[in-house]
């Protein structure tokens, strides 16, 4: 195997490994949110965002964790970041439900 092929193979492996870490962190964040472990869920979402700052799903997980902490401003920022990265999520029922829940929390009592 030539040096170029070996180097390319190493880059592909590194890229694939990072994708797996990002995906695992995001899935783990979702599970931890469901279990009520909001601090760990936020940590997982932040970890995914460090590796992939343009991964909209990680911003959604981050927003969900902030929402669970009643940190509505940061939740809104996270959801807007996700929307900026992927405008198509605007049509998603689950994303619209998150926005509706956030708006209800932000509405004056």
Which whole number is the average pLDDT over 72-77?
96
Which whole number is the average pLDDT over 5-21?
59
Burial annotation 28-58 (CB, 10 A radius, 16+ → b, else e)? bbbebbeeebbebbbbbbebbbeebeebbbb
Q: Which residues contact 99 (CB under 8 A, 6 or more apart)?
A: 79
pLDDT digit string, tens, across residues 27-74: 788 888 889 999 999 998 998 898 889 999 999 999 999 999 999 999
Domain at 40, CATH number = 1.25.40.10
If you ran DSSP here, which 8-state letter would residue 107 be given? S
Do residues 78 and 66 touch, judged by C-beta distance below 8 A? yes
Higher pLDDT, 12 or 46: 46
Q: What's the structural domain count of the chain?
A: 1
Which whole number is the average pLDDT over 85-96?
95
pTM, two decimals, is: 0.79
Higher pLDDT, 67 or 2: 67
Per-residue model confidence (pLDDT) at position 76: 96
Rounded Cα–Cα distance for residues 3 and 12 (Å): 14
Residue 27's domain spans which residues?
A: 3-106
């Amino acid at each position: 195997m030539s040096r170029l092929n070996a180097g390319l193979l190493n880059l592909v492996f590194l890229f694939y490994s990072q994708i797996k870490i990002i995906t695992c962190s995001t899935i783990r964040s979702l599970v931890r949110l469901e279990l009520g472990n909001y601090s760990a869920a936020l940590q997982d979402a932040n970890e995914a965002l460090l590796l992939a700052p343009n991964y909209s799903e990680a911003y959604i997980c981050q927003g969900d964790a902030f929402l669970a902490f009643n940190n509505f401003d940061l939740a809104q920022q996270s959801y807007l970041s996700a929307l900026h990265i992927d405008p198509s999520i605007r049509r998603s029922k689950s994303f619209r439900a998150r926005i509706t829940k956030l708006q209800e929390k932000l509405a004056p009592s």
